[in-house]
Copies of this chain bind each other. A is one copy, B any other.
């Protein structure tokens, strides 16, 4: 398993902290920021899965908007249009995890092409990456838009093979979302799960090849028996 030719990262929750929106949520709903952010993220994921299954794709921005609307209705919080727009915009300005910039540079120095494969729209991915100044590190920013379905549908993972001209086993896929890591493993990628919070891995019939507690552990693993 030492023939890794490229590294493909998930974006939301892996390179970027989705809960960096909690601060803006807290400004609009004092004391409720993390509660809103957590339910919002959970519903956002559910809506991507459910709309994929129903064959009713909408953009990630729309699913994110809908999930926020539901969350505020569920919690009985009044959400006016301006606040809704402000909070949804926060998803375009997520913060990378602290170790990410230096890690990407170290991986660039190893000479492997890096890519992002994300549920986000082309616009969302571009915005998040450019707003954080990390765009020079990536050879490809890949959105689910061309296949109008979300992860973990295998058509999404195929996009990375096509864009990079590689077989699935030549790609190391890196995700913090264990359901995404499981889907990627079923697809055929080599898989690294980033387990920052010492969570249990989802029971979906597939396990990652390697587990790290932060992305800074990744460069030393490249070229080892694991990856």
Contacts and interface: CB of A to CB of B under 8 A. Distances in A.
Interface stretch (A29-37, A88-96, A122-130, A196-204): A196-204
Interface in A47-66: 47, 49-56, 58, 66
21 contacts: A46-B46, A46-B179, A47-B202, A49-B53, A50-B152, A50-B179, A50-B182, A50-B204, A51-B204, A53-B149, A53-B151, A53-B153, A53-B183, A54-B152, A54-B153, A54-B183, A55-B186, A58-B205, A66-B203, A66-B205, A69-B203
A67 interface: yes
Interface centre among A49, A53, A151, A200 (most CB of B within 10 A): A53
B53 A203 contact: no
B50 A49 contact: yes
Report copies per complex. 2
Interface residues of A, number: 34
A47 B183 CA distance: 11
A70 interface: yes
A67 B58 CA distance: 28
Given A69-B203, A203-B66, A204-B51, A186 B56 contact: yes
